[in-house]
């Protein structure tokens, strides 16, 4: 890792420790899937770094930078995405879930569309028979990168961050494709603040 990148990660970490989190709802246990939007991934990762968790990060150059941030925060990384090495990455995630770890996932990543839920989080929870926690993150003050596809949000120093959790119980084995699609859409609505519970 280059020196400038190390310095930037150190500054980011100091910034993150200034954030003031308020957790709302049922707090995830140590073995579950936790989903939050790509644009809110920094506070989403940081607030869960104390548990035994891992994330999937794309194989891109940006993914390498994000991997270094996650590793610095003590979060393990599986490299892959829906468009590159996706099947293998998902299988690895399910294996880690079954070992008792927690999977942090941005279900609209790595390229969007923004706030549009892809099936990975639901499928991982289904295959591993683990609960899915939807994590909606609201920040009082942040710098928004308006040219990024996800409107990436960097909370400012001492920002108040509300983290809303909604628990989705493990999906039943008998669920068919149409029912799972309905669950995915309901999860998307919840993450977007439209409380249509599954």
Average pLDDT of the chain?
91
What is the number of other CB atoms lying within 10 angstroms of the CB of residue 25?
14
Residue 16 lies in a domain: yes
d(CA 123, CA 154): 29
Per DSSP, the residues of 128-158 read: HT--EEEEEEEESSEEEETTSTT-EEEEPTT
Residue 167 lies in a domain: yes
Q: What would the pLDDT profile of 99-132 be if each residue is shown by its tens digit?
A: 999 999 999 988 899 999 999 999 999 999 999 9
pLDDT the model gives residue 59: 83
Residue 197 lies in a domain: no
Residue 169: burial class (beta carbons within 10 Å; 0-12, 13-18, 19+): exposed
As a whole number, mean pLDDT of residues 156-165 equals 98
Helices 3-18 + 61-72 axis angle, to 10:
60
Residue 196 lies in a domain: no
Domain range for 63 is 3-191
């Amino acid at each position: 890792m280059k020196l400038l990148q190390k310095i930037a990660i150190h500054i980011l970490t100091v910034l993150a420790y200034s954030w003031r989190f308020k957790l709302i709802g049922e707090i995830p246990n140590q073995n579950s899937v936790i989903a939050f939007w790509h644009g809110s991934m920094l506070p989403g990762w940081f607030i869960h770094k104390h548990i035994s968790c891992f994330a999937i990060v794309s194989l891109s150059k940006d993914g390498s930078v994000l991997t270094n941030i996650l590793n610095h925060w003590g979060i393990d990384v599986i490299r892959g995405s829906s468009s590159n090495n996706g099947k293998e990455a998902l299988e690895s995630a399910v294996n880690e879930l079954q070992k008792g770890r927690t999977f942090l996932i941005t279900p609209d990543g790595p390229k969007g569309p923004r706030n549009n839920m892809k099936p990975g989080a639901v499928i991982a929870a289904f295959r591993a028979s683990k609960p899915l926690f939807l994590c909606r993150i609201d920040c009082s003050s942040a710098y928004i990168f308006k040219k990024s596809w996800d409107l990436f949000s960097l909370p400012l120093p001492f920002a108040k961050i509300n983290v809303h959790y909604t628990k989705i119980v493990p999906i039943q084995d008998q669920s068919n494709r149409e029912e799972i699609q309905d669950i995915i859409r309901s999860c998307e609505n919840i993450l977007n603040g439209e409380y249509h519970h599954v």
